[in-house]
Amino acid sequence: MNPDTPNLETLAVVIEQPEHLSLQRLSLTPPGDADAVVEIQWSGISTGTERLLWSGRMPDFPGMGYPLVPGYESVGRVLFAGSDSGVAVGDSVFVPGARCYGEVRGLFGGASARVVVPGNRLLAVDEGLGEQAVLLALAATAYHAIAGPEAPHADLIVGHGVLGRLLARIAALGEGSRPVVWETNPERARGAEGHGYDVMAPDADSRRDYRVICDVSGDASILDDLVARLAPGGEIVLAGFYSRPVAFNFPPAFMREARLRIAAQWQPSDLRAVKSLVDSGRLSLDGLITHRLPANEAETAYRTAFGDPMCLKMVLDWRTIS
């Protein structure tokens, strides 16, 4: 091991089994020449995929299992940089997760005071972004769904959580575009002011001519309602994560010649694109982080993130963890 390598023990959030979480001390995999050791400052809690890991409802896929370290929305500072890592000590970086905990799985591995991660997975960020940098993964998810080379901007977005708000803010950047967001909770309907889109309840919206509808509700039973709002040849984008089978009645979709697209995980190019939008000031991340707790209160933080409908984004503060 390189004598300059920092301490390879860390405190990390571990979901031992569904709805059982603790902060545990784990040993990290020693870094190679292509790796970096990053001291995490903040990590976000996802109310989509991480909620499914927490509840035990995550569908089976390769690598799934407990115990696991969650988290794919982390930001920190490089403590050690391997000779081929492409980063430097002191860099402020976004960390999209890590797999460095031995027998404890990294799904997705970013909720830890310290991580070992390949340097080519890190994205240098402006230190001035602070905790807001944890939102880059969700912003990249939104960009991938509606603003990539093959993805037209959405004119209706279903859900005004943090991902829905990012989708709406990105969609509003399109020329002449003022998207509509559906939200059924009046309290969560707030927050659109100054961002170029409108929020309304579905039953207050009479339109039946939406060209692109992007759903982030996670409601597997919503497709028939969305098909009824499409213009002929319109497209529905599923950008949430659905733990139950998604189904719809065929005749109405046939009559509209509807298209269905599933937006998968963001790509590195999406992350770079949203970073450019943020750096230029075109995309604001303000007002999206609503709750913060020190990392040693992780259990309370996760329960609040998943149980409080007014919690858009919960951030864990790792700066006082040793």
Tens of pLDDT, residues 151-171: 778 999 999 999 999 999 999
Confidence band for 3, pLDDT divided at 50, 70 and 90:
low
Of residues 106 and 182, more confidence is placed in 182
Asked whether the domain spanning 138-262 has the same topology as the one spanning 9-124+287-317, the reply is: no
Distance of CA 285 to the CA centre of its chain: 13
Distance (Å, whole) CA 166 – CA 283: 9
Of residues 240 and 169, more confidence is placed in 169
Which pLDDT score is estimated for 322? 63
The position carrying tokens 């999406």 is: 270
- In angstroms and rounded to an integer, the radius of gyration of the C-alpha atoms of the chain is 20
Q: Rounded mean pLDDT of the chain? A: 93
Which pLDDT score is estimated for 316? 98
Of residues 153 and 44, more confidence is placed in 44
Q: Residues 6 or more apart from 315 whose CB is under 8 A from it?
A: 42, 43, 44, 45, 131, 134, 289, 291, 292, 293
Q: Where are the domains of the chain?
A: 9-124+287-317, 138-262
Residues facing 40 on adjacent strands: 76
**Residue 184 phi, psi (nearest 5):** -90, -20
Please state the CATH superfamily assignment of the domain spanning residues 9-124+287-317 in this structure: Medium-chain alcohol dehydrogenases, catalytic domain (3.90.180.10)
Which pLDDT score is estimated for 304? 95
Which CATH code fits 138-262? Answer: 3.40.50.720
pLDDT in tens, 62-110: 677 899 999 999 999 999 999 999 999 999 999 999 999 999 988 899 9
Lowest mean pLDDT among 22-36, 72-86, 122-136, 174-188: 174-188
Which pLDDT score is estimated for 240? 86
Which pLDDT score is estimated for 90? 97
Lowest mean pLDDT among 49-53, 60-64, 128-132: 60-64
Which pLDDT score is estimated for 2? 57
**Residue 256 phi, psi (nearest 5):** -95, -5
Q: How many helices (H) and strands (E) does the chain have?
A: 7, 17
Selection from 212, 221, 207, 202 nearest residue 258 by Cα = 212
Which pLDDT score is estimated for 249? 96
Burial of 211 from C-beta contacts in 10 A (0-12 / 13-18 / 19+)? middle
ω into 268 cis (within 30 of 0): no
**Contacts made by residues 145-151, CB under 8 angstroms, sequence distance 24+:** 145/214, 145/237, 145/239, 145/263, 146/170, 146/171, 146/212, 146/214, 146/237, 146/239, 146/263, 147/171, 147/173, 147/273, 148/270, 151/237, 151/261, 151/263
Which pLDDT score is estimated for 64? 79
Rounded to an integer, the average pLDDT of 22-35 is: 96
pLDDT at 150 over 80: no
